[in-house]
Homo-oligomer: A and B are copies of this chain.
Amino acid sequence: MERYMDAAFREIMRLRVNFNNMMKPKIGAHGLEEADFDAAKLGAANERMAQKRETMKWRELPYNQDEIVADILETAKGVRKEFDDFVVLGIGGSALGPIAVQQALNHLHYNDLPKAKRGGGPRLFVEDNVDPERMEALFDVIDIGRTCFNVITKSGGTSETMAQLLIICDALKKRGHTPEKHIIATTDEKKGNLIIIAKELGLKTFFVPDGVGGRFSELCPVGLLAAAVCGVDIKEMLAGAAYMDEISHEGDIWENPAHLAGAMMVLMMERGKNISVMMPYADSLKYMSDWYAQLWAESLGKRYDLNGNEVFVGQTPVKALGVTDQHSQVQLYAEGPFDKVTTFLKVGEYRTKVDIPDGFADIKDVSFLSGHTMNELIQAEERATEYALLKAGRPSWTITLPEVNAFTIGQLLYFFEVMTAFAGELMGINAFDQPGVEEGKNATYALLGKPGFEIKKQELDSAPANETRYVL
């Protein structure tokens, strides 16, 4: 039996979410009271979540992928055997999940280890930009003949990813390699260009299911393949997500951590807290903040509500890292405007223990550290920062991962997805589209001379060029 099937393991590994420091009794004027929670509104949102569950296909990913997971594991096995490097070509949701999970569940210097110490897996590079210097730098450190590329775009039309694909195909051909041996495509099964190209080239393919948008795609092949290739137990991760789904089914908001988190954040937004700080106290969770930033920003940052009213809503995610950013951001968090809610990510047990040895016994400001562990130090600092924000009257809440492992990471990903969807329901907006990026996309097409964008090009050219006023 896998450990994640054991009820005791599941209970021990359950995320704990503590909202005390969001409440008035703790933090005073900027806190919430139970009376602020509108039962009718919350109940209605909860019902809509249940009704819409069928359309939120990402909610079923923990349950309906047995065959796909088997295929991913088989494919990953082959990749691990045949290649030294695995390169994800993708951007946004196709990149942020793979990066976050790799950082959380593998060695913090994974790419710097010899292959044997990496458990036999390839190095992982996630290429989520089109900076020419970065592309060239990648070619300087990989041997393309020993590299597997996973090109990911749901729509099949992402310019950045397609440009990378053109470059990789060309480089493979020039060196006498065939694309079908080196490229795996992850895309929509029916729509878009990548599926056409994949068929033309005879590529191995995985599919992004209908109804699973980029930022909700980590638990489908988009995220699972890279994770499996690098040795992550993806079944356990999915089991963690399923466990969180159980927990966040509850209709009573006071028993449903993901819904309660969404509700509290929306109440805070309504009270002018337009910034959401995510502050993990663990290097392993550092890039969870990046993944969350996309999820929260793109889902809730909207001009119109579902009735077509202009609302200009959204809360801006800010990435911080404990303890590092105590020395960079906490001055502002403690003394600046009352415009933030901070979410701490805590770790119960780190995966190692490092002692702080004796030394400089005569210098008391240093020697008080001796005899403690780094574990105690980082945990004391987390508690101290929580306390300092509390004393400054600033709202915060904490999520504790008993350990960082595939089961707790699965829970965490699913938790934020449900929290985001529920917040969207409460705000009355569509959490699953992103109309605001069209203008920029079209302007890029126009500037690059894509057919059909001639009028946009004229519009851009009509803006006065070479301005000198206000240019210094």
B109, B166, B301, B447: the one contacting A383 at CB < 8 Å is: B447
Task: Report Cα–Cα, A259/B467, bound state, in Å.
Answer: 20
Closest residue to A299 on the B side, CB-wise? Answer: B331
A295 to chain B, nearest CB (A): 9
* Copies of this chain, count: 2
Q: A197-B363, A440-B384 are known contacts. Are A129 and B327 too (CB-CB below 8 A)? A: no
Q: Is the CB of A366 within 8 A of B141?
A: no
Task: Report Cα–Cα, A337/B380, bound state, in Å.
Answer: 36
A150 to chain B, nearest CB (A): 17
Q: Is the CB of B383 within 8 A of A197?
A: no
Q: What's the tally of chain A residues with a CB closer than 8 Å to chain B?
A: 151
Q: Is the CB of B378 within 8 A of A471?
A: no
Q: Is the CB of A166 within 8 A of B357?
A: yes
A2 to chain B, nearest CB (A): 24
Q: Is the CB of A384 within 8 A of B19?
A: no
Most B CB within 10 A of own CB, among A17, A140, A260: A140
Q: Is the CB of B20 within 8 A of A469?
A: yes
Give 1 or 0 for each of A370-389: 1 = CB within 8 Å of chain B CB: 10111111101101110110
A448 within 8 A of B: yes
A59 within 8 A of B: no
Task: Report Cα–Cα, A301/B337, bound state, in Å.
Answer: 8
Q: Is the CB of A448 within 8 A of B372?
A: yes
B314, B319, B329, B337: the one contacting A332 at CB < 8 Å is: B314
Closest residue to A376 on the B side, CB-wise? Answer: B448
Q: Which residues of B contact A374 (CB under 8 A)?
A: 130-132, 135, 163, 167
Q: Is the CB of B132 within 8 A of A378?
A: yes
A385 to chain B, nearest CB (A): 5
Interface stretch among A75-83, A235-243, A430-438?
A: A430-438
Chain A to chain B contacts (Cβ below 8 Å), 25 pairs: A16-B471, A18-B470, A19-B472, A95-B324, A108-B134, A117-B140, A130-B381, A158-B327, A162-B365, A170-B358, A193-B365, A196-B363, A260-B472, A274-B274, A275-B275, A294-B329, A313-B337, A316-B339, A331-B437, A376-B448, A383-B447, A384-B443, A387-B440, A387-B460, A388-B437
